Amino acid sequence: MGKMESQIEVRMVEKIMGDLELSRRIEELRLDFAAERGKPFEHFFCPILMRDEPAETCRGHVVNEALDSCNVWLPQRKDVDSFYGSAVEADLITIIRNRGKDLADVLRDPQLRRRIRPKLIENETPIGHYHPSPGRPTVDGHTLVRLLDNGEMICDLAVKTSVDHLLSLTDSSLAFLIDADFRPEVTASMIKAAHLTLFKMFGYRHVFSPTGQYLASILRDFFEKYKPPAKCRESSVAEHFLPFEKMIVPLMEVADNLKGTVTDNRLLSVFGGSGSIFAMGVIVKAGPDMFCVFVPGMPNAINTYFSFLKERPHSIAVKVTQWFPGTAGEESHFGIPDGEPNRLCFAVENAGSNDNDASPRTAT
Mean pLDDT calculated for residue range 103-122: 84
Q: Give me the helices (H) in 85-209, please.
A: 90-97, 103-108, 110-116, 163-168, 183-202, 204-207
Q: How far apart are CA 66 and CA 149, in angstroms?
A: 30
* Highest averaged pLDDT of the listed ranges 60-74, 119-133, 233-247: 233-247
pLDDT at 222: 96
pLDDT at 66: 76
Range in 183-187, 329-333, 346-350 with the lowest mean pLDDT: 346-350
pLDDT at 267: 94
Residues 6 or more apart from 315 whose CB is under 8 A from it? 343, 344, 345, 346
pLDDT at 207: 97
Q: Is 290 exposed, middle or buried, given 0-12, 13-18 or 19+ CB atoms closer than 10 A?
A: buried
pLDDT at 171: 67
* Nearest CA among 200, 207, 209, 214 for reference residue 45: 207
Cβ–Cβ under 8 Å, residues 247 and 187: yes
Grade residue 265 by pLDDT with cuts at 50, 70 and 90. Answer: very high
Mean pLDDT calculated for residue range 68-82: 91
pLDDT at 6: 57
Q: How far apart are CA 191 and CA 198, in angstroms?
A: 11
What Å distances lie between residue 96 and 84, 118, 163, 216, 268, CA to CA? 17, 17, 38, 25, 24
Q: Residue 22: pLDDT above 90?
A: yes
| DSSP secondary structure letter of residue 133 | P
| pTM of the complete model | 0.80
Q: How far apart are CA 344 and CA 359, in angstroms?
A: 10
* Strand 342-347 to 152-159 pairing: unpaired
Higher pLDDT, 217 or 69: 217
* Nearest CA among 287, 288, 289, 267 for reference residue 279: 267
